Structure 1
Amino acid sequence: MAAKIDHIVFDIGKVLIHYDPNLPYARVIPDGKERRWFFENVCTHEWNLEQDRGRKWEDAEALLVEQYPEREEQIRAFRKYWHEMVPHAYDGSVAIMGGLIDKGRDVTMLTNFAADTFVQARQIFPFLNRPRGVTVSGEIGLIKPDVAIYEKHARDFGLTPEASIFIDDSQANVEGARAAGWQAVHFKDAETLRQDLIAHGIEV
């Protein structure tokens, strides 16, 4: 029998809000093949992840502009049009989170997010202010799935690992939480999440 869950921890991107860099870049680089090349070679996932780890956008942009000076405008478009990459919330999972908070459950968030874009996200999506608190990777220099970020979150918010459940769309991040002694579920959609929480004894 799994431990009783006292703490519910949500990831944000692709769990509570949609994220897709292609949205503004379909306009910035209309040719699909070129856009794919750009994301695979210039503004890569790995490059963006360093901003989640705390690197400043100015430094990130300068690094790429030096390598690809002819693409300066396209490189700077990533931060400039970031707000267009998060066009809407996932109403179903937001409703589940809100319902848990309304029932008095302890809800926090743990996210790989650049510090400044998270400030912007909170303005766009006020429900991000509802949980008890959040650990933002870009503010602390640690990113999921590093076990250290889960341990820090547990310490900072007084969570008992085995009584905590983590919800993330990335299987690697789910495994990171389990490695830290947490329970965890892989997010697919709101209905699956509802069933997963019920299976862990959480009234939704």
Structure 2
Amino acid sequence: MTRPEFFYFDLGNVLLYFDHDLAFRSMARIAGIAPQRMRQVVMDTDLQIQYETGLISGEQFIDAIAQSLGRSLDTREMLRAAADMFIPNHQVLPVLERVAGLGIPIGLLSNTCEAHWQWILEQQYPQVADRFEPVILSFEVQSMKPDPLIYQVATEKAGCDPAAIFFTDDRLDNVEAARRAGWQAEPFTSADRLLDTIRGWGEP
């Protein structure tokens, strides 16, 4: 594997861990229903996909949930409950510093929704704050990994040959899609494993 000119990080389960069950418990408590019922309403339909691809707004997302449950819900309260599910992965900080030390630009490529992204920015996690340019988010480009379009957008934003881009993601299907786009890509299993890969590129 050759040293890249650009490095894209995934967000969920790489920079930040997330727990959907925590979000569903919080949302269910507000709605006065069982967490499993909330999970069914969101995950057993295409609601989450529509929201993460920017096809519906946060207000429309909560309105659809409210309609399914037959009750009124406060949009802001529900969206914050849906977003309060992230835990920073502190072990990845040395990876970010190592890549920056090599002078390799870093970007972010994530399937996420507006509520989650706004919550993450508010928390000012050191794993995320002011580190990435560009930031490619599924809800903004209306395409989710592993769809080829989001990789095409990310390639154009990186401004280099696809073969010069390195990407890590916790999902193998997203890694394989990156390889089909011509990128170098490896699944994220741990910060230590990723550091080993980066050390193989040598010093600046």
> What range is the shorter-chain TM-score in?
0.7 to 0.9
Q: CA deviation at 1:101?
A: 1.5
Secondary structure in structure 2 of the residue aligned to 1:110? strand
Structure 1 contact 166–177 (Cα < 8 Å) conserved: yes
| Residue in 1 that maps onto 2:84 | 84
CA distance in 2, matches of 1:68, 1:75: 14
Secondary structure in structure 1 of the residue aligned to 2:121? helix
CA distance in 1, matches of 2:60, 2:148: 27
| Residue in 1 that maps onto 2:157 | 156
Q: CA deviation at 1:29?
A: 4.7
| Residue in 2 that maps onto 1:99 | 98
Equivalent pairs, count = 197
CA distance in 2, matches of 1:100, 1:120: 26
CA distance in 1, matches of 2:114, 2:76: 17
Change (3 A) 1:131 1:102: farther
Q: Structure 1 stretches of 5 or more lacking a match? A: none
| Residue in 2 that maps onto 1:14 | 13
The alignment's TM-score, normalised by the length of structure 1, stands at 0.83
2:147 is aligned with 1:146: yes
Change (3 A) 1:174 1:202: farther
| Residue in 2 that maps onto 1:108 | 107
State the one-letter code of the partner of 2:186: V
Identical pairs, percent: 22
| Residue in 1 that maps onto 2:47 | 47
Change (3 A) 1:124 1:174: same
1:49-68: CA deviation from partner (whole Å, max 9, x where unpaired):
32110121111222232222
Secondary structure in structure 2 of the residue aligned to 1:18? strand
Q: CA deviation at 1:26?
A: 3.8
The alignment's TM-score, normalised by the length of structure 2, stands at 0.83
CA distance in 2, matches of 1:130, 1:140: 20
State the one-letter code of the partner of 1:177: A
CA distance in 2, matches of 1:179, 1:122: 31
Q: CA deviation at 1:117?
A: 2.8
Secondary structure in structure 2 of the residue aligned to 1:48? helix
Secondary structure in structure 1 of the residue aligned to 2:136? strand
Superposed CA RMSD: 2.7
Q: Structure 2 stretches of 5 or more lacking a match? A: none
State the one-letter code of the partner of 1:36: Q
State the one-letter code of the partner of 1:176: A
CA distance in 2, matches of 1:75, 1:38: 15
| Residue in 2 that maps onto 1:172 | 173
| Residue in 1 that maps onto 2:119 | 120
Range with greater deviation from structure 2 (137-146 or 73-82): 73-82
